[in-house]
Structure 1
Amino acid sequence: MQSELKLRILSGIVLAVVVLAATWFGGIAFRILSAAIALLVYYEWSTITRLAETDFRGNAFGWLSVVLVSGLVLFGFDEFALPLLIGAVVIGIVYALGLKGSGWLAGGIAYSGLTVISLAAIRGDTAHGFAAMLFLFAVVWATDILAYFVGRAIGGPKLAPPISPGKTWSGAIGGTIAAVIAGTLVHMAFFSLNGLWVPVIALVLSVFSQIGDLFESFIKRRFGVKDSSRLIPGHGGVMDRVDGLVFACFAAFLIALGDAIVSGTANTPASVFLFGP
């Protein structure tokens, strides 16, 4: 048990260093990280849902779609990545309905593709993007850590017993409060705080982070899997570590995208809409 804990701590430190270094450098370094996460997420998704075993053709299309979307983001063709992803998801849905393929195919393409697109869009190549990613890390990590400790300390009614029996409403609320505080403090380290927009965004992203955690728990329980994989020593798989982060990024990206469409300023970086002064 002691050696397993040491392995978990060591691999956690290595992961944190890699992620924070890529976030600091931004540019191609962060895009490589985002693409790698997306590809590993699709690998784990297709393994958990048994796409590789039950739907070889569909899974091959899924891999092709995620590789192409990740490649577009990696080489800076972001404007083509989202339309390609939408098209691939639609094809996946039609394939499942018309040819009785796996309904999990379209979900895997969407989940993995949105991961690379949203991460890269929020980080971008600006100082705002660096601050935005630190804000997201603070919100997600504070949610995870405080939800665990508050839930264990207070207990009480379960949040979603059929999906994740260990999670409680007290933990969820405690994690959300911690996320609002942590996110606001990170924002204030870079910019002045004007109004309640930042605390509200932190609250929304914390809720989505917890939804992401529950979503992955649902998939694993649906297929009788404990960990998404064994890629990370002591931690399980990539999805186990980024489930909350990617859902928070999905929400942040979609809020920024909606704001850009409404305001007609599509060329403004996503991070400016969310975290700019």
Structure 2
Amino acid sequence: MQQELKLRLVSGVILAVVVLLATWYGGVAFSLLSALIGLLIYYEWSTITKLAAQQPVANAIGWIGQAAIAVAVVAGTLGYSLLLLVLFFLIAVGFVLASGVSRWFPTGMVYAGLTGIALSAIRGADSVGLFAMLFVFAVVWSTDILAYFVGRAIGGPKLAPKISPGKTWSGAIGGVVSAVIAGSLVVYFAFPESVVLSAPIAFILSVCSQTGDLFESFIKRRFGVKDSSHLIPGHGGVMDRVDGLIFASFAAFLLAGFFSLIKGGEIISLGAALFGV
């Protein structure tokens, strides 16, 4: 047990250092990390849902699609990345309709592909993107940590007992409150004029983060697996570590895109659009 805890701590520290360094440098470094996360998520998804074992042809098409999206993400071409995602999603839907392939196939294409796209687009290459990504991290990590400790300390009614019996409403509320505080602090030190806007955004991202956590728990329970994989020593799989980040990044990406459309003009920086700077 002590050895397992030590392994968990060491791998956790290494992961944190790699992620934070890539976030700091941004550009190609973070795009590579984002693309890798997307590919690993697809690997785990296709394994959990048995797509790789039961539908090898569809799974091969899925890998081609995810590889193409990953290349576009690293190249920094947001438009092409989204176009490829839509194209291969439609191809996956075609497989479902024509040959009875599992409906989890197109879902996995979006779940994995959009993760890499959203993370890379939010970080971007400018300093605003750096703080936007740190904002998302602060919201997700504070949500996870405080939801756990507040839930353990207060207890009370279960949030979703059939999906994740350990989660409580008190923990969920504690996670949201801490996320709003943590996210607002990040924005206050970077863009103090946007701190009022950041609070409702942090609230939305925290709710989405917890929804993402529940979604992954549902998928694992649905297919009878404990961990998404064993890629990370002591931690399980990539999906186990980024389940909340996935949905939070989706929300941040969509909100930034929506704000950009409202303001009009070319979308130069999703980070800037997210904070209105």
Task: Bin the TM-score by the shorter chain.
Answer: over 0.9
Q: Which residue of 1 aligns with 2:115?
A: 115
- Once the two structures are superposed, the pairs formed by residues 1-277 of structure 1 within 5 Å of their partners are 1-194=1-194, 196-277=196-277
Residue correspondences, number: 277
SS in 2 for 1:208: helix
Q: Which runs of 5+ in 2 are unaligned?
A: none
Of 31-40 and 266-275, deviating more is 266-275
Shift of 1:276: 4.4
Q: Is the 8 A contact 1:128 1:276 kept in 2?
A: no
CA distance in 2, matches of 1:102, 1:32: 30
Of 83-92 and 174-183, deviating more is 83-92
Q: Is the 8 A contact 1:38 1:116 kept in 2?
A: yes
Shift of 1:11: 0.7
Deviations for 1:205-258, whole angstroms, at most 9, x for unmatched residues? 000000000000000000000000000011000000011011100001011122
Q: Is the 8 A contact 2:194 2:275 kept in 1?
A: no
SS in 2 for 1:60: helix
Deviations for 1:44-81, whole angstroms, at most 9, x for unmatched residues? 00000000111111101111111101111111222111
- Structure 1 runs of 4+ aligned residues shifted over 4 Å read none
SS in 1 for 2:192: coil
CA distance in 2, matches of 1:46, 1:117: 19
TM-score relative to the length of structure 2: 0.97
Task: Give the letter for the 2:172 counterpart.
Answer: A
TM-score relative to the length of structure 1: 0.97
Shift of 1:109: 0.6
Q: Which runs of 5+ in 1 are unaligned?
A: none
CA distance in 2, matches of 1:48, 1:40: 12
The percent identity for this pair of structures is: 59
CA distance in 1, matches of 2:192, 2:70: 35
CA distance in 2, matches of 1:102, 1:61: 14
Shift of 1:97: 1.7
Shift of 1:194: 4.0
Task: Give the letter for the 1:132 counterpart.
Answer: A
Task: Give the letter for the 1:212 counterpart.
Answer: G
Mark the CA change 1:27 to 1:194 in structure 2 (over 3 Å): closer, same or farther: closer
CA distance in 2, matches of 1:68, 1:95: 19
CA distance in 2, matches of 1:26, 1:72: 16
